[in-house]
Amino acid sequence: MFTQQLINGLALGAVYALIALGYTMVYGILQLINFAHGEVYMLGAYLGIIVLGLLTALGLPAYSLALTLGITIVVSMLFCAAYGAAIERVAYRPLRNASKLAPLISAVGVSIILQNFVMLAQGKEYKYLPPVISFEGFTFLGARISPVEVLILGASILLMVLLQLFITRTKLGKAMRATSQDMTMAGLVGININKVISVTFMIGSALAAVAGVMVTLYYGVAHFFMGYTAGLKAFTAAVLGGIGSIPGAMLGGFTLGLIENFCASYISSVYKDAFAFLVLIITLILRPSGLVGQRHIDKV
């Protein structure tokens, strides 16, 4: 029971962590809560189902399952990255110098647009994964583990390591760190701010797409409303870890996944969403800078 909940919690946490990275990266640079980020994750989930359906019609899964999953994830990532860049260009860039409230409301608008667009284009019903892939689970220390859980954990840890390497070792990563420290100064030393911000949105959205595809593989279902709660919880994870901090988002994601799963199995399952938000509120009150975040001092 305990091992089972631990594994389930880690898998859920990996999904939260992947989405939380997008929130934390955008917040780190723009101090903007990208409210539409949860919808990008939802788009990723739908794209996963659509691409997988297409590939199934072509008969690819019978040939190579790994290739099918690979293509699905890459296509979904590419499309979501394009969505992320488009959202930033259309809804946030014109508002970069506006008051703080404006981009947030614009983000709510984008969120409504994307939800209703998917609802109109794909229907109000739940969308199910084509039953092409049957995963045989295996037993480990008395816990039933599905290969999807292994895939989620493996892929998310790999992506997080890659992201960390990208941020710390590449020129563009350095430019991102500089921009998040001081946008004006970064611009003055010749960094193309617009490009850096676009890339940030694209990376964040691509990670959310992976989370979306993983979740549909795990639960086998997507819904146009799924982005809202998941986005909120991923944001909670980002705040829990310390918003703006990339290792913080990963830590926060896994912590939240574990808390939620253990609360659901040992205390009350109907209140599991409430626990997640309670954790958010308590974190913000007791330690607003999160588990690993740095204290922020307001400047005039």
Partner 1 sequence: MVLFPATATKYFRYIAISFWAGLLVLPFTGAVHALEIAGITTAAVLSWRLSKAGPFAGALDEFTRQLSRAGKVIDAVSKAVRTRTALAIIIVLLLVIPIFQNDYYRDVLTLTGMYIVLALGLNIIVGQAGLLNLGYVAFYAVGAYTYAILSTRFGTAFWPGMVAGALAASVFALLIGMSTLRLRGDYFAIVTLGLGEITRIVLNNWDSMTGGPNGISRIGRPAIAGYTLSAPLDFYYLILIIACFTVFATHRLMRSRIGRAWIAIREDEVAAEAMGIDTFRLKLLAFVLGSAWAGIAGVFFAAKMAFVSPESFSFFESVMILCMVVLGGMGSIPGIILGAFLLIALPEFFREFQDYRMLAFGFALVGMMIFRPRGLLGSAGSK
CB of 3 to partner 1, least distance (A): 28
- Provide the 3-class DSSP secondary structure of residue 55: helix
CB of 91 to partner 1, least distance (A): 5
72 is written with which tokens?
Answer: 């699905």
- What are the b/e assignments for 188-225, b being 16+ CB within 10 Å? eeebebeebbbbbbbbbbbbbbbbbbbbbbbebebbbe
CB of 157 to partner 1, least distance (A): 27
CB of 27 to partner 1, least distance (A): 9
| Binder among 58, 59, 65, 109 for partner 1 (CB under 8 A) | 109
225 is written with which tokens?
Answer: 């409303």
C-alpha span between 168 and 37 (Å, rounded): 24
| Binder among 4, 5, 31, 146 for partner 1 (CB under 8 A) | 31
Q: Report the residue number, 80 or 175, with the smaller CB distance to partner 1.
A: 80
Are the C-beta atoms of 34 and 243 separated by less than 8 Å?
A: no
C-alpha span between 56 and 64 (Å, rounded): 11
Q: Report the residue number, 9 or 84, with the smaller CB distance to partner 1.
A: 84
Q: Does 51 bind partner 1 (CB under 8 A)?
A: yes
292 φ, ψ (degrees, to nearest 5): -120, 5
Q: Does 280 bind partner 1 (CB under 8 A)?
A: yes
Which of the ranges 62-70, 152-160, 182-190, 267-275 carries the binding residues for partner 1, by CB under 8 A?
267-275
Measured on CA atoms in the order 38, 43, 45, 48, is the torsion positive or negative?
negative
| Binder among 122, 146, 192, 265 for partner 1 (CB under 8 A) | 122
Number of residues that bind partner 1 (CB under 8 A): 56
CB of 185 to partner 1, least distance (A): 22
| Binder among 138, 162, 288, 294 for partner 1 (CB under 8 A) | 288
| Binder among 6, 71, 74, 113 for partner 1 (CB under 8 A) | 113
CB of 223 to partner 1, least distance (A): 14
Alpha helices in the chain (DSSP H): 2-30, 37-58, 60-63, 65-87, 101-122, 147-169, 171-181, 183-188, 193-219, 226-241, 246-266, 272-286
| Binder among 155, 199, 239, 259 for partner 1 (CB under 8 A) | 239
Burial group, residue 132, by CB count within 10 angstroms (0-12, 13-18, 19+): middle
Span 177-236, contacts to partner 1 by CB under 8 A:
228, 232, 235-236
CB of 198 to partner 1, least distance (A): 13
Among residues 19, 14, 74, 28, which one has the least CA distance to residue 173? Answer: 28
Mark residues 65-104: x for contact with partner 1 by CB under 8 A, - for none: --------------x--xx--x---xx--xx--xxxxxxx
Strand partners, 139: 144
Are the C-beta atoms of 226 and 237 separated by less than 8 Å?
A: no
Residues whose CB is less than 8 angstroms from the CB of residue 200 and which lie 6 or more positions away in sequence, other chains included = 25, 26, 29, 176
Q: Which residues bind partner 1 (CB under 8 A)?
A: 31, 33, 46-47, 50-51, 79, 82-83, 86, 90-91, 94-95, 98-106, 108-118, 120-122, 228, 232, 235-236, 239, 270-271, 273-274, 277-278, 280-281, 284-285, 288, 296, 298, 300
